[in-house]
Chain A
């Protein structure tokens, strides 16, 4: 009896059959705790927007959103900025990360530094820096053609200055995502093989590397889209009416409307991300 009892300790079999059950339970607990933590506050706020003591249950707050002026222009501006920022961030970061992995390993600390500093500078300080730089740049470069560029990037219809700011703000997140993805594939071998077969650098980038880090690129794009659609401070202080700025402006003195607007904006971003990820999958 004793000998038989010791056998289960040695063979991994019984332990393996016990594990899936345990694993399922552990996973269930984690998911339930996460669901409670994330969903309950949202549910409470949603309830706040539809129920009030004086008026009872009503969806009036959401009706007011639809009739609020400026919804579509600000949303389109934010989406355009987001698209531009995503493209810019990917086009700038991927070649740099490839360069580091392939032949310039000493640039890695520089890249890590660049990708952490924008994170640590609070948006308010960054905006003050940008506006001071713009102000002094306009004064200093008044006689040169660059003055026109400085004014053009601040154009209300499409403020390129915001794209530049957002690229810097999203760099930490995009870099981390892409870094994790590039670690999972053997970049050196892939690139060497492709170059040996006669591929040009753009080909290597677009047809070899990118298809293999799809989930990282998706993460980075999600993070960027969410950042641009949720970023208030830089846009507000530079004076552009992007979607998050419009939300704060239009809420006015109506408490239910302001909370309803933030819930709607979260749903909107979520729908956009679902569409993006769905489109990404279909291409396979």
Chain B
């Protein structure tokens, strides 16, 4: 029965002219499509040339910004500002506005120099930044500057992805917090902290030992998995330090989280502003600058978010800045670094509750923003750092044992 319907439809449209015109229209469409396709091929050299040109240019008054290793190479900071303004744009990646006050830092840079900043995928991780640099080599979309985890800065430098550059305040950066030739340099850091909603929780935990208490059943969360999230990895490392481990031995940290899971206190949800607002992750282990930055926003929503650095597990880590060797806007990239390491930039970091790398130098200089410094979550003593070998070994142990620790 249905087949007769089809035959009827075919028979109705048999008049030859109709079929021929219909096919002609279709072939015309196909031809147009092919034409556009080849035009895309042909036009490419036209569009490609400017990009190739951009990566080779960016020079002002004969200075090649791509090989400048300090402001002096430009003939002074003013000449650098000039060259950067000529480029007019800066492409950054992985800078969330509420992470160490990057939102305000970007606004301040734009206002001061009038240079447009394209902030791409703020949620990207360090590995994504490195991939972006590698994949978009030679394109205008490549990131100019990078803010990376320490290990990624070291491996990126080894792969030859960065351009050496020494900011004007280079000498004030401590020796072990920069790479000798200027391929990368630490910018800010924070301690592992325990954030807690004081409205929902009667007594907030203050140490790692506190976290095991039965009143926190189902409430202790982290900012993701330690095998993916830098702050969660630091959380496990700090737990190891709090439970008899050391920089060489992260296993007690894994054991601690196994105990936490068995006690029913561990909440596997990844902490986000939404989960905090909802009241799911009432306790969160994260960097102190992240936890502290939540507080004002959450106060508006009726939460009282407190940040405490646990006294039994203190772990401090710095992030690092680097300039892409093939940055499409090399002068703007270098100006950005100068801005970040000026007192203005470093104080802006401080305003975001992060501890800028030049903090000791600024305190002795008197250029530090005392009010912002007073707002930092209190901690006692000076931090110690693990070596790169210790960190790599810890990561290996973690990768092999984390799944077994928290599942089942």
Contacts and interface: CB of A to CB of B under 8 A. Distances in A.
Contacts of B22: 202-203, 206-207
A148 interface: yes
Contacts of A53: 301-303
Interface residues of A, number: 54
A52 interface: yes
B379 to A, nearest CB: 24
A103 interface: no
A50 B303 CA distance: 16
Interface string A223-255: 000000000000011110100010011001111
B10 A149 contact: no
B342 interface: no
Interface stretch (B41-49, B251-259, B329-337, B383-391): B41-49
Nearest to B277: A255
Interface stretch (A26-34, A108-116, A131-139, A164-172): A131-139
Given A54-B302, A208-B6, A249 B277 contact: no
Interface of A (DSSP majority class): helix
B297 A138 contact: no
Contacts of B121: 236, 239, 245, 248-249
Nearest to B11: A197
B175 interface: no
Nearest to B142: A239
Contact of A255 (B10, B23, B137, B276): B276
A248 B120 CA distance: 11
B293 interface: yes
Interface stretch (B108-116, B127-135, B165-173, B358-366): B127-135
A256 B134 contact: no
A55 B134 CA distance: 46
A199 B6 CA distance: 13
A149 B302 CA distance: 54
Q: Range of interface residues on chain B?
A: 35 or more
Contact of B19 (A52, A203, A256): A203
Given A193-B10, A199-B19, A255-B274, A151 B44 contact: yes
A152 B138 contact: no
Nearest to A149: B41
A193 B47 CA distance: 50
Interface string A197-212: 1111011001110011
Interface string B127-168: 010011011111101000000000000000000000000000
Nearest to B276: A255
Contacts of A145: 41, 44-45
Nearest to A196: B10
Contacts of B303: 53-54
Interface of B (DSSP majority class): helix
Contacts of B44: 145, 148-149, 151-152
B302 A199 contact: no
A135 B122 contact: no
B26 A202 contact: yes
Contacts of A236: 121, 123-124
B98 interface: yes
A202 B23 contact: yes
Given A134-B135, A138-B138, A148 B7 contact: no
Given A138-B138, A239-B136, A252 B98 contact: yes
B41 A193 contact: no
B299 interface: yes
B273 to A, nearest CB: 4
Contacts of B131: 128, 131, 237
Contacts of B51: 151
B141 A259 contact: no
Contact of A154 (B139, B275, B276): B139
Nearest to A131: B135
B97 interface: yes
Nearest to A142: B138
Interface string A149-183: 10111111000100000000000000000000000
A197 B311 CA distance: 87
Interface of A: 48, 52-55, 128, 131-132, 134-135, 138, 145, 147-149, 151-156, 160, 185-186, 189-190, 193-194, 197-200, 202-203, 206-208, 211-212, 236-239, 241, 245, 248-249, 252-256, 258-259
Given A202-B26, A207-B13, 13 more contacts: A131-B131, A131-B135, A145-B41, A148-B41, A149-B41, A151-B139, A193-B7, A194-B10, A199-B10, A238-B135, A253-B273, A255-B274, A255-B276
Closest 4 CB pairs of A and B: A148-B44, A54-B302, A53-B302, A255-B274
